[in-house]
Structure 1
Amino acid sequence: MRYLGQGQKWVLRNGRWFGFGLLPALITLVLYTVALIALAFWADDLATWATPFADDWDSPWPGLLRGTFTVLLFASGLLLSVLTFTAVALLVGEPFYEALSQKVEESEGGGPEGPDRPLWRELWISLCDNVHVLLRVAAFAVPLFVLGFVPVVGQTVVPVIGFAVSGFFLTVELTSVALQRRDVPVRERLRLLRERKALALGFGVPLVLAFLVPLVAVFLMPGAVAGATLLVRDLVDGRASGGSEDGRGDGGETTGPHPYPRGTTWTNPRPS
């Protein structure tokens, strides 16, 4: 959570960049608001269409079943919007967040310039990476949706697991800006964060909970991108440098100045 606080402090100290980072999130918010309103409007009809077998049931069971289905459907839509909001905002705001993240790097002593690729290529890579991550999210979301129908467990354990899953993948999405600049492939990003689950959850879960409050996601996104950049500098740069005297310690904490050599890209630190 320290990185979240540092990221928000950075954008508040640099107000121009805070406003700059709000634009993609505002556009994405409008799109999701329209989609959720449409889902709420059609949820009852979708519940009736999905449960034709309940037409012959005695009252009040059809209403209870369809009411539960409607609530779960809208809750799933809300959860999906939380899971995908960052991915869509990052895709819409690729140039905005890349510039913001680069500015954070410069203010902290410099960072890699990243691969020299045209904008369309960067957007295509981001789209492919987001699809890869969303497929993994779906592998969790579908079973959790089904388990949501289980009495007691579906109203207690499942939401907790859902927030943990959402928080982990939200961290994956937010750190992708700085990790793409280091040319770290998406599979390696997932592996890095799986090895530091507590770090990933500590950063992502509070954001997921905050994003459930209307409009909060818009105002936290610039600081979240800045905080994720600071997280990556400690997690990846220190690891790649091997924790030198001028860099990061073995635990990923800052022990002194750590200027990342410009033009340097990711190399897998795992022993052969």
Structure 2
Amino acid sequence: MSDAPARSFLRGAADLARGFGFWSRRPGVMALGLIPAAIVGLVLLGGLIALGAFLPQIVDALTPFADAWPELWATLVRVAAGTAVLGGAIVLVAVSFTALALMVGEPFYDRIWRAAEADLGGPVPDSESGFWRSVGDAVGLIARGLLAAVIAALVGLIPVVGGVLGSVTAVSLTGWLLADELTSRALSARGILAADRRRLRRTHRARFLGFGVATQLCFLVPLGAVVAMPAAVAGSTRLARTVLDAHD
């Protein structure tokens, strides 16, 4: 019998925690994953800082119709617009970070994945991942991230409650995309096609979401993305192996 959704969600978060535990067992391999994560993280952080600096001007350009409104209503609308823009940007940055880090650091993260597979026991499957496949995966993930960013931004425009709802939507959508992308290596290496991977994720929706949301929350902590990225690769390997074993 499957776990209750809340318990399964927590098990997914625990998979990420166990990924962090891999630092104590294979610190050398895990440290390799810091290099691409740091490079990509610095570039995207610079973009996010620039957005924050120009956010007031962007909001004014998006809401010229509010110039003639009473100050209270104009302020509410502009705060909602600013929250929506920033929330959408954070979604896109989180997804882009994962996509670009996996692409730039393909050899490093492949070593982490293989080490995690070996640590879990059993033969390590052959992976067909390579640079150009990583490029294709990155483009696809960023495209889906754009859609998620638009959805989160639109939800964020809802007056009064938009900030909270937009944030929850952003974290949930981003978490789902991250779990999808991070587990795809371990699943596809076993010959599991995209349609079957989607079916597997739907069957274990809460666990995948718990893993992805926990990963996304780590990414929101300053420098958290750099440290969490190797752990996310190791943890996603454990997640994939666990759900596959449940179907054997």
Task: Give the match for residue 47 of structure 1.
Answer: 59
Aligned counterpart for 1:74 among listed residues 76, 86, 92: 86
Task: Give the match for residue 114 of structure 1.
Answer: 127
1:105 lines up with 2:113 in the alignment: no
Compute the displacement of 1:193 (Å). Answer: 1.1
Could you tell me whether the CA contact under 8 Å between 2:48 and 2:89 is conserved in 1? yes
Compute the displacement of 1:160 (Å). Answer: 2.4
Could you tell me whether the CA contact under 8 Å between 1:147 and 1:153 is conserved in 2? no
Could you tell me whether the CA contact under 8 Å between 1:171 and 1:201 is conserved in 2? yes
Describe how 1:132-151 pairs up with structure 2 within 5 A.
132-151=140-159
Q: State the alpha-carbon separation in 1 of the partners of residues 79 and 209 from structure 2.
A: 33
Tell me the C-alpha RMSD between the 2 structures: 2.4
Could you tell me whether the CA contact under 8 Å between 1:11 and 1:226 is conserved in 2? no
Could you tell me whether the CA contact under 8 Å between 1:174 and 1:224 is conserved in 2? yes
Could you tell me whether the CA contact under 8 Å between 1:148 and 1:155 is conserved in 2? yes
Compute the displacement of 1:64 (Å). Answer: 4.7
Compute the displacement of 1:31 (Å). Answer: 0.8
Q: State the alpha-carbon separation in 2 of the partners of residues 232 and 99 from structure 1.
A: 17
Task: Give the match for residue 7 of structure 2.
Answer: none
Compute the displacement of 1:86 (Å). Answer: 1.4
Compute the displacement of 1:74 (Å). Answer: 2.1
1:170 lines up with 2:178 in the alignment: yes
Structure 1 residues 170, 102: closer, same or farther in 2, change over 3 A? same
TM-score computed with the length of structure 2 as normaliser: 0.83
Unaligned ranges ≥5, structure 2: 1-12
Q: State the alpha-carbon separation in 2 of the partners of residues 78 and 106 from structure 1.
A: 34
* TM-superposition CA deviations, 1:15-64 (whole Å, max 9, x none): 11121111111111111111111111222222222223334445465455
Larger helix percent: 2
Q: State the alpha-carbon separation in 1 of the partners of residues 207 and 71 from structure 2.
A: 50
Could you tell me whether the CA contact under 8 Å between 1:112 and 1:181 is conserved in 2? yes
Percent of residue pairs identical: 36
Task: Give the number of the structure with larger relative contact order, counting CA–CA contacts within 8 Å between residues 6 or more apart.
Answer: 2
Q: State the alpha-carbon separation in 1 of the partners of residues 126 and 155 from structure 2.
A: 45
**Structure index of larger Rg:** 1
Task: Give the match for residue 200 of structure 2.
Answer: 192
Aligned counterpart for 2:42 among listed residues 27, 30, 33: 30
TM-score computed with the length of structure 1 as normaliser: 0.76
Could you tell me whether the CA contact under 8 Å between 1:97 and 1:225 is conserved in 2? yes
Structure 1 residues 156, 37: closer, same or farther in 2, change over 3 A? closer
Compute the displacement of 1:171 (Å). Answer: 0.7
Report the AA paired with residue 210 of structure 1. C
